[in-house]
């Protein structure tokens, strides 16, 4: 499976979707989150954080000024939440040392990844958020590479059994 679109009503269901996807993620996996301002990317990462059982109880908020927030999770995994919105150009991204985050100590969720797309590994799962009204989003999941295809297929086979209510 290379791509799939899901209609999601309400922020709780955006979080629920991410929570359910998190069960299929492992260290080294990369999620590229794309979509207009306010389309639901950070909301999605909050659901991921719940699913990965981040150890600190603080709320996940957008790392707009620091570019990268790091959350230790249950089971020796880290969640790296990145937001490239304020990157002025991709050479600025080169100063962040992204390779160390992509080397497999954790799961990366990157808002506005397209601002430094050439620095990402080739295999990643793109998740595009489209606001179709105040109350709903279409979420497109696009696998770039075999590992991401596997994540998407595994997730969707469970999704068809358990998550149709979203």
Ligand X SMILES: Nc1ncnc2c1ncn2[C@@H]1O[C@H](COP(=O)(O)OP(=O)(O)OP(=O)(O)O)[C@@H](O)[C@H]1O
Site of interaction with Mg ion (CB under 5 A): 41-42, 62
φ, ψ of residue 63 to 5 degrees: the values are: -85, 50
Choose the stretch contacting ligand X; rule: CB under 6 A; options: 24-32, 51-59, 69-77, 134-142.
Answer: 134-142
Q: Which is nearer to ligand X, 62 or 90 (CB)?
A: 62
Q: Which of 31, 54, 109, 111 is the binder for ligand X (CB under 6 A)? A: 111
φ, ψ of residue 26 to 5 degrees: the values are: -135, 170
φ, ψ of residue 88 to 5 degrees: the values are: -80, -35
Closest CA to 31 of 83, 72, 73: 83
**At its nearest, how many Å lie between Mg ion and the CB of residue 12?**
17
Choose the stretch contacting ligand X; rule: CB under 6 A; options: 23-31, 38-46, 68-76, 156-164.
Answer: 38-46
Q: Which is nearer to ligand X, 39 or 148 (CB)?
A: 39
Q: 38 is in the binding site of which of ligand X, Mg ion, none (Cβ under 5 to 8 A by kind)?
A: ligand X
Contact 52, 23 (CB under 8 A): no
Q: Is 35 in the site for ligand X (CB under 6 A)?
A: yes
Q: Is 62 in the site for ligand X (CB under 6 A)?
A: yes
Q: Is 41 in the site for ligand X (CB under 6 A)?
A: yes
Handedness of CA 30, 35, 40, 42 (dihedral sign): positive
CB atoms within 10 A of CB 66: 12
Q: Which is nearer to ligand X, 129 or 147 (CB)?
A: 129
Residue 2 to residues 35, 121, 149, 164, 166, Cα–Cα distance (Å): 19, 17, 6, 20, 21
**At its nearest, how many Å lie between ligand X and the CB of residue 150?**
26
List contacts with ligand X (CB under 6 A).
8-11, 13-14, 35, 37-43, 62, 85, 111, 129, 135-137
């Amino acid at each position: 499976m290379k791509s799939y679109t899901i209609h999601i009503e309400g922020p709780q269901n955006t979080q629920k979707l991410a929570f359910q996807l998190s069960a299929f993620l492992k260290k080294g996996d990369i999620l590229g989150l794309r979509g207009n301002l306010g389309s639901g990317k950070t909301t999605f990462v909050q659901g991921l954080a719940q699913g990965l059982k981040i150890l600190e109880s603080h709320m996940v908020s957008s790392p707009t000024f620091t570019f990268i927030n790091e959350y230790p999770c249950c089971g020796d995994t880290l969640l790296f939440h990145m937001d490239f919105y304020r990157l002025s150009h991709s050479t600025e991204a080169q100063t962040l040392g992204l390779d160390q985050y992509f080397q497999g100590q954790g799961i990366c969720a990157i808002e506005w990844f397209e601002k430094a797309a050439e620095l990402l590994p080739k295999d990643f799962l793109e998740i595009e958020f489209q606001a179709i009204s105040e109350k709903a989003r279409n979420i497109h999941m696009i696998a770039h590479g075999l590992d991401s295809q596997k994540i998407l297929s595994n997730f969707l086979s469970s999704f068809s059994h358990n998550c149709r209510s979203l």
